[in-house]
Structure 1
Amino acid sequence: MSLDQATRVGGERLLRGKRNWWFLGPGGIVRLGGRHVTADGALLPETELWLRERGMFTTRPARAYALTVLTSTHCNLGCGYCFQNTAQDPAGGGRPPRIAQTRLTSQTITSVLAFTERQMAAVGLEKLRILLFGGEPLLNPRGCLELLERAADIGQSSAWMISNATLLTPRLAGQLADLGLDSVQVTFDGDRSDHDRIRIGRADGSGTFDTIVRNIVRASEAAPIRWTLRVNVSQENIRGIDDLIGRLSDALDPARCTLYFARVGDVGIGYANDLHTGELSAAFIRWQRRALDLGFTVTRPGSHRPCTTCGHTGGRYGAVVSADGTLSSCWETAGKSDWEVGTVADGYVSGAKADDRWIACEDLYRYDEDARALAEFRDSVDTALLDHLDETGRL
């Protein structure tokens, strides 16, 4: 099995490290020696059998139904690269046109939970994990709280949220945590000066960096929330990311934060990112090592697995529901009328219409490189991370 074959067929990956090989499968990560691999970088048959017997090729079944709900499709920020924009701001400011504004109501929550209960029963799942999403979900805090409170009746075991954190108060953080929220993902667009030029208030174009950091600090004091800090990478902010890592370490508790870096792509709204993967590998590797040295968690590499939500048609293990009760296959198409795949009242549509509109994670993102270049970039970064985790006793 070569790396290309693994990527195409089962999602397994075989990476050549500095001193050994790394096998990444659905069942975990295994360190292999040269005796386990052929000269052209394929698993020997006896090695593959050994890995299969130990469950490394076995995909674990879903433990909980993954429900994403947009509590508000509106957003108080005006980021030019957002996949929910329908175009760039014609005036060149921070008010790009967006998807239509809707808010989750009590009536829609009733329909969402009834739909979810049916979906869970169909696959025999008794636990539910909710993602509060938007727009900015905290533009509708009442909807967030009511959804979590009522979802407890159908098996909600945990929840998380993707938020810009500008509206997160200590009181609200405590209320959400009491209802099962355990983690929040927040995005930074480079160091303070770059972030405040890119990730701006929609109403007045104001910077948001200090507000976000302050709110994370205060929310952390009020609730046992863990934080995933997504750092967007583009030509607009790459020069300040080293300083950003240090600044976040000084302001926040790294032990409660996972840091990950993501190159911004174009989802058809005219946002160009001129950075190419060939010039980014060394930077990503440096940032990850610096983050680890400062006490942050860095997400470990894994095999290519289908997304629980959009990797299975018909909402088998998860669903994305907009604030008005319409269904989408993935976050990237939520709230877009021409990408709807059903409603919580009527269920998923079937046939060619559903097939044409079923989009999986990042299917809409456009990059200048081809698939092989993107795969080589990911492999080089992931291999370096595994080598470093191994060398420093963190693996």
Structure 2
Amino acid sequence: MLRGERTWWFLGPGGVARLADRHVTPDGGLRPEAEQRLRASGMFTAATVRSYALTVLTSTHCNLGCGYCFQNTAQDLAGGSRPPRIARTRLTSETITSILGFTERRMAAVGLERLRILLFGGEPLLNPRGCLELLERAADIAPTSAWMISNATLLTPSLARRLHDRGLTSVQVTFDGDRDDHDRIRVGRADGSGTFDKIVRNIVKASEVTPLRWTLRVNVSQETFHGVDALIDRLGAALDPTRCTLYFARIGDVGVGYANSLLHTGELSSAFTRWQRRALELGFTVNRPGGRKTCVTCGHTDGRYGAVVSADGTLASCWETAGKPDWEVGTVADGYLPGAGTGDRWIACQDLYSYDEDARTLARFRDTVDTALLDHLHETGRL
């Protein structure tokens, strides 16, 4: 339950509802009749899982040298763009065969008939052949759609078209603040070169030949905070906002020596609100807040509805541990290890991230930003 400026908001697993004061008790709880109506309308019921969620690292190597990456094993002690990373592996045809056999068995066990693939890395496009082969062969076992998390520096129009023809519908790309900040942080691993203009250019060219949609993640830290307003306007001018979702994410610490000193203060919540409203003004999509949902990939300790597979066929519980030694929970050849042996290795989304603030501060930040966005969406007729 969130208290807006003129109304109350209920965020549940089945959706969002706007409530009046008469629906809410003095201490902010639901009155029985309101709760009964919300339950009857499905607001307390999570959506049915309809697709098996398969994440595959097609390459664990990356052509960028971002210092905060959770796949780094340490910082670059020379201060350059080559932090040490997880072991380099590459998806092969043989491993694809094992992955798809494992996937068929898992889908049959839970009665799912559709497949949703995430092409992941490292940088997945360092192995374009593996990406294309995986999608093409996956279509033989189930109706398949796909999305990809990529830095987009290697995405050519021809490759974008071929991936789309095999089921790719959207790509998530990260920006580290406005151009100058981004080109100082998100740099080429080989030579430390900036990547901002190349990424934007590649998105534009891929959009000209495909209907791909784009999720633009803006990393927020003390290094990028002051350039985000300009970045939003720059992206709005360079890209087609109607095909882009824009979201903002504070970079967390995953123990690789990267510190983000930007705290979840009132200034940060007001900045997130300002950025979201400007993005909406320019025509970008901003994801509507919702109730906390269980991740289909890592939220079930038995891997019931999805799996994360590294390029060598090793299973992990979540993206953040894929390819890391001592975090394996099985292999696609042999299946998951017994639960008693993997309990400490089964982590869910962002379990490895640590913050300098307590859980109450983080929750207050999220609630403040979510309430402001819901109020604005309602007031502007976008809800």
- Give the TM-score range, shorter chain: over 0.9
Counterpart mapping for 1:62-141 below 5 A:
62-141=49-128
| Candidates 229, 240, 245, aligned match of 1:253 | 240
State yes or no: 1:287 paired with 2:275: yes
Aligned partner of residue 364 in structure 1, secondary structure: coil
- Identity score, percent: 79
Q: Distance in 1 between matches of 2:337 and 2:363?
A: 33
| Candidates 286, 289, 294, aligned match of 1:301 | 289
Q: Distance in 2 between matches of 1:270 and 1:156?
A: 42
Query: Which residue matches 1:184?
Result: 171
Query: Which residue matches 2:39?
Result: 52
Q: Distance in 1 between matches of 2:280 and 2:103?
A: 38
What whole-Å deviation, never above 9, does each CA across 1:317-365 have from its counterpart, x for those lacking one? Answer: 0000000000000000000021110000000011332111001000000
Aligned partner of residue 339 in structure 1, secondary structure: coil
Aligned partner of residue 139 in structure 2, secondary structure: helix
1:241 partner amino acid: V
TM-score, normalisation: structure 2:
0.99
**1:59 shift after superposition:** 1.0
What whole-Å deviation, never above 9, does each CA across 1:337-395 have from its counterpart, x for those lacking one? Answer: 21110000000011332111001000000111111110110000000000000000000
List structure 1 runs of 4+ shifted beyond 2 angstroms.
none
Query: Which residue matches 1:222?
Result: 209
**1:200 shift after superposition:** 0.2
Query: Contact conserved, 2:252 with 2:355, CA < 8 A, in 1?
Result: yes
Counterpart mapping for 1:298-377 below 5 A:
298-377=286-365
Q: Distance in 1 between matches of 2:310 and 2:277?
A: 38
Query: Which residue matches 1:9?
Result: none
State yes or no: 1:211 paired with 2:195: no
State yes or no: 1:389 paired with 2:341: no
Could you tell me which runs of 5 or more consecutive residues in structure 2 were left unpaired when the two chains were aligned: none
Q: Distance in 2 between matches of 1:144 and 1:316?
A: 24
Q: Distance in 2 between matches of 1:86 and 1:103?
A: 19
Query: Contact conserved, 2:220 with 2:251, CA < 8 A, in 1?
Result: yes
Could you tell me which runs of 5 or more consecutive residues in structure 1 were left unpaired when the two chains were aligned: 1-13
Query: Contact conserved, 1:319 with 1:328, CA < 8 A, in 2?
Result: yes
**1:222 shift after superposition:** 1.1
Query: Which residue matches 2:368?
Result: 380
Aligned partner of residue 298 in structure 1, secondary structure: coil
Aligned partner of residue 311 in structure 1, secondary structure: coil
State yes or no: 1:36 paired with 2:19: no
2:99 partner amino acid: V
2:317 partner amino acid: S
Query: Contact conserved, 1:130 with 1:156, CA < 8 A, in 2?
Result: no
Query: Contact conserved, 1:166 with 1:212, CA < 8 A, in 2?
Result: yes
Aligned residues: 382
State yes or no: 1:241 paired with 2:228: yes
Aligned partner of residue 206 in structure 2, secondary structure: helix
Aligned partner of residue 140 in structure 2, secondary structure: helix
| Candidates 184, 194, 207, aligned match of 2:181 | 194
Aligned partner of residue 143 in structure 1, secondary structure: helix
**1:255 shift after superposition:** 0.2
Q: Distance in 2 between matches of 1:173 and 1:221?
A: 10
State yes or no: 1:174 paired with 2:161: yes
**1:157 shift after superposition:** 2.4
What whole-Å deviation, never above 9, does each CA across 1:16-69 have from its counterpart, x for those lacking one? Answer: 100010011111111000000011111112211111011110111111000000
Aligned partner of residue 277 in structure 1, secondary structure: coil
Query: Which residue matches 2:138?
Result: 151
